[in-house]
Amino acid sequence: MTRLFGTDGVRGLANKDLTVSLALELGAAAAHVLTRDRRSSDRRPTAIVGRDPRVSGEMLAAALSAGMASRGIDVLRVGVIPTPGVAFLTDDYGADMGVMISASHNPMPDNGIKFFSAGGRKLPDSVEDEIEAAMAELSPHGPTGTGVGRVIEEAPDAQDRYLRHLSESTPADLTGIKVVVDAANGAASTVAPKAYESAGAEVIAIHNSPNAYNINDNCGSTHMEQLQRAVIEHGADLGLAHDGDADRCLAVDGEGNIIDGDQIMAILAVGMKEKSELRKNTLVATVMSNLGLRLAMEEQGITMLETKVGDRYVLEELTAGGYSLGGEQSGHIVLPGLCPTGDGTQSGLRLMARMAETGCSLKELAGVMNVLPQVLINVPVANKAAILQSAAVQDATAEAESELGGTGRVLLRPSGTEQLFRVMVEAAESEQARRVAGRIAAVVAAV
């Protein structure tokens, strides 16, 4: 049976794959699993529910809230707010669980559900499996009378709490820095510009007018062309791009060049090492990170550990090893001392703080890392498991690895959120990377 949970929660086409009835069942099952050891005679468990502004979020929030309340959970709905805001508020309010309704960088018709345990932490696979099992086993009859949970529709201080947290954790005054912010018409549309302005930066906000339908629509961290143009047009020092739920941050330097998550991690790692904030002189990244990041970290005397793709796997390694910085090339940057998940706005603040502290431009700071040519092809497939088992794909991969030798690498992996298979190739030369990746992608598409 196909697992319901993917790389980052449950995701699919809203009202088709991700239905109201599924959300209702998920809410009830998650409430049962995540609060069963936190109940007492004098205390009712609580849950925080937030969402991004896409149109289906309203109905899914209602269904999830109803499911949780049916299991005796009081639900506090915090409205449109970034995913890291829900993680922070789950901890800050002392709630027993949190839920974010968002499909992150996916297009508007999709939506997703992400759960957090007490403290605002993403769930390990084992707990997600327990929730799936509970959906099949849970009795349809919940508590009655005073045992039924309440749904509080609005938390008036939620956004202020989150903004105050961002302000208190910003290490430098950003006065004099001019930044263009692309909020992807998503959850960062209000929060990110306010946070950057509060820290002293001059902010030009674009794509910050969500209307329930325009989230991620040719904007944000997956479509950065307009941000690149805006940085040049406004003579800004940098641009920052968020995704729909604002747990990602990518950047553009003053010349319009894209600065990806690997480069942001390199900049922050060097700065944290200088201030003795990089615990055990270690950075945690994923297998998708550019080989150039590892080489740059070696040159700086910093150890780099790799995990599976997904910021929750990065966080698991950070927690297990007691490390202080990790992330993904896609722009999820995790600073566990500040937030229990990736926080795009926090990343933007930290990046600009590094510019303010050093007096260097973003392009100068990014020079710490030499990015090797990397080509990523997303191949639509009907059966992701069949690709992994294909002898033809295995042979094509082996041939490519032999051709690249020690100057590059090949990585094939199924998407955890979409019906795609990702083919990534790094090589010393761009043309070679494109040629090899295209050859493997053609084999994948033919399976």
DSSP 124: P
CB atoms within 10 A of CB 121: 20
CB within 8 Å of 70: residues ≥ 6 apart? 27, 28, 142, 148, 149
Provide DSSP, 400-441: HHHHHGGG-EEEEEE-SSSSEEEEEEE-SSHHHHHHHHHHHH
Closest listed residue to residue 354, CA positions, set 366, 343, 342: 366
Quick one: which H or E segment has residue 140?
A: none
Which one, of 282, 259, 337, 341, lies nearest residue 86 by Cα? Answer: 341
Radius of gyration in angstroms for the set of CA atoms belonging to the chain, rounded to a whole number = 22
Determine how many CB atoms are found less than 10 A away from the CB of residue 340.
Answer: 25
Identified catalytic residue from 70, 102, 104, 221: 104
Contact 125, 43 (CB under 8 A): no
- The b/e string for 356-394 (b: 16+ C-beta within 10 A; e otherwise) is beeeeebeebbebbebbbbbebebebeebeebeebeebe
Q: Tell me the C-alpha distance between 133 and 55, whole Å.
A: 29
390: Cβ–Cβ under 8 A, 6 or more apart, which residues? Answer: 443, 444, 447
Please state, in angstroms and rounded to a whole number, the distance separating the CA atoms of residues 160 and 173: 20
Binding residues: 104, 243, 245, 247
Residues belonging to the binding site for Mg(2+) are: 104, 243, 245, 247
Place of tokens 């201030």: 275
From 418, 401, 417, 411, select the one nearest 374 (Cα to Cα): 411
Which H, E and C letters describe 359-389, residue by residue? CCCHHHHHCCCCCCCEEEEEEECCCHHHHHH
Annotated active-site residue 70? The verdict is no
Considering Cα of 285, then 288, then 291, then 296, what sign does the dihedral take? negative
Dist. CA 263–CA 290, nearest whole Å: 9
CA distance 256 to 202: 18
Catalytic residues: 104
